Chains A and B, each alone.
Chain A
Amino acid sequence: MMSHWIIAPVVLPAVMGAFIVLTMRHDLLLQRVFSIAATGALAVISLALLWAASVNPPEVYRLGNWPAPFGIVLMLDRLSAVMVALTAFLALAVQIYSASTGWDTRGRHFHALWQFQLMGVCGAFLTADAFNLFVFFEVLLIASYGLMIHSGGRDRLRAGVQYVAYNLVGSTLFLFALATIYSITGTLNMADIAGKVAALPEQDWAMIRVGAILLILVFAIKGALVPMQFWLPATYANAPGPVAALFAVMTKVGAYAMIRTGTLMFPPATPATGTFLSDLILIAALLTLAVGAIGVLGARSLGWLVAFAAIASMGTLFVAISQFTPEATAAALYYTLHSTLAAAILFLVADLVADRRAHLRLTEALPPIARSGLIAALFFAGAIAMAGMPPLSGFLGKLMILDATRGDSMALIWSVILATSLITIVGLSRAGSVLFWKAHASTPEEPAETKDEPLSFAAVFLLIAGLVALTVFAGPVMGWMEATAANLHDPSSYIGANALVEVGK
């Protein structure tokens, strides 16, 4: 049984992106209609795939019908399905926002690049071939370069050059890593690599460790793990608001790849690599948390503050990932859903403020902005979610991560997570009071709203509704995630689906 729907999340945006460039590049309304409809269709397909993945075992899709491990295959399992669904939901909400605020009018080809970006992200989540993962990384990166400098501007272009240069180094590292792994194992199919690495003779252990470290470095660049986080603050702070919100899922591509590699290819039980990957990731994750929290406290502009908050949330996520136990992985998956939505909400709120305020600097209080009360409430909700305070899902996520890290380094992990949460709360409340409270000290009246864009607020509310749903249905979601984590830590069904079978029957 081979469902062709597995490839739809890659083919649909690819075809739609090309279609938009070719036939409607001069008609913005058509672009909006077709692009948002395509993202909506992607969301529907991803829900169907999510349902299929939760009732069926992992399913393989052979591109060109070549048998694995010789041909490239896509794999649909629970983890891939939930990440694709998260991407589609986020992209739909943020795309409505960008059309409503007119961001897509400030430069050309916004919607086409958006579709190519979705193609790359969905492909990276679905592929089961390490080199194909590299190709999809490049697809999502090249689209993100275009989106990052959308509408231009001095600082944006300069930050864009930095971003591209950093990621080109990352791509080169990725190729070095893949070539090293290929030279040892002779395969690039992830499930096949897993089998080969587990049975590796001892004289090859040093080489595979080099390859594994290089690969983890690449994913650390994507996931903004210290010391590879330098590209993130300037990029996210200078990117257009909706683009930064979509980029919230791009760091999760790094986290996803790290989970996939760490549970499938180099699990802690494999003698060749052992636990040294998880030890390294844990140290880096704790440093990432500290850097993010200190950055939130020290940021002088709202854009930079949100970017550092995103770094801190990646740190929390990687702490959970570094444990490589089923409980911690389940908590990490829940926190992935939460932190993507929370970061996107804060980036959109920062954009709403930037539209109405002279600048985003937090060093001086300016007169109140239009709709100050509503925007302040949205910022408050986003800040609560990001800092991990009750009642939103950030609290539950952090609680489950704390609960899952009762290991040897519990004292260290708990104190770092709790201390950085406090610092983040202080930083976020300082920003909120400068932006929304002190503004009323000089001029109590807020100006009348000049913009008429109710859909942009609706998009932010849609994302907050996602967070509320995650909180209310935390029990069922967590049960689903635990089953997902159990599958990840016992990858026999994933590897079995990739086994060499005779094709054509």
Chain B
Amino acid sequence: MELLVASAIGVMTAVGIYLILRQRTFPVIVGLAMLSYAVNVFIFASGRIKIGFPPILNKYAETSYTDPLTQALVLTAIVISFGMTAVIVMMALGSFLETGDDRIDMTDKTDGEDA
């Protein structure tokens, strides 16, 4: 289980980093989404992997529990990264419509010349 989770995080991070180094907005956005998936699983794992336990203390029985805090953190992180992805998709679309291409870097013409 640990190996599966660890390699899933590793592969998703690697894919994300490869994609955000591309020069067009669409692969970059997909890469950012992959990175945020990877980090969500990573946060989940930081509360230690326990299977089949509730995230609450039970004072009537000697059962173990899983860390509830990381689940709350993941929820927050999912909401924020989802919203941010929506923002960058809209801005990339606006930029594509204004400039006519979807390159993410500044062209030579604008660099240091235009203001």
Instruction: Give A354 to B114 CA distance when docked, in angstroms.
Output: 11
Number of interface residues of A (CB under 8 A): 44
CB pair B114–A359 under 8 Å, yes or no, is yes
- What chain A residues lie within 8 Å of B47 (beta carbons)? 182-183
CB pair A180–B46 under 8 Å, yes or no, is yes
**Which residue of the partner chain, among B42, B94, B105, contacts A179 with CB atoms under 8 Å?**
B42
Residue A100 CB within 8 A of the other chain: no
CB pair A162–B115 under 8 Å, yes or no, is no
Residue A381 CB within 8 A of the other chain: no
Chain B, Cβ-Cβ closest to A162: B104
* Residues in B44-74 with C-beta less than 8 Å from chain A: 45-48, 69-70, 73
Chain A, Cβ-Cβ closest to B39: A175
Looking at chain B's contact residues, is the secondary structure mostly helix, strand, loop, or mixed? helix
Instruction: Give A299 to B115 CA distance when docked, in angstroms.
Output: 12
Instruction: Give A389 to B114 CA distance when docked, in angstroms.
Output: 30
CB pair B77–A175 under 8 Å, yes or no, is yes
Instruction: Give A180 to B20 CA distance when docked, in angstroms.
Output: 23
Instruction: Give A143 to B20 CA distance when docked, in angstroms.
Output: 23
CB pair A161–B112 under 8 Å, yes or no, is no
30 A-B residue pairs with Cβ-Cβ distance under 8 Å, sorted by A, are A141-B84, A149-B91, A149-B94, A152-B94, A152-B98, A154-B110, A157-B99, A158-B99, A158-B110, A159-B106, A161-B88, A161-B91, A161-B104, A162-B105, A162-B106, A164-B84, A164-B91, A165-B20, A169-B20, A169-B32, A171-B80, A171-B81, A171-B84, A175-B39, A179-B43, A182-B43, A183-B45, A238-B115, A301-B113, A359-B114
Q: Known pairs A157-B94, A182-B47. 17 more at Cβ < 8 A?
A: A145-B87, A153-B98, A154-B110, A155-B110, A158-B106, A160-B91, A161-B91, A161-B92, A164-B91, A168-B88, A169-B20, A169-B35, A171-B81, A179-B39, A179-B43, A183-B45, A300-B112
Chain A residues in the interface with B (C-beta under 8 A): 131, 135, 138, 141-142, 145, 149, 152-155, 157-162, 164-165, 168-169, 171-172, 175-176, 178-180, 182-183, 188, 234, 237-238, 299-304, 354, 359-361
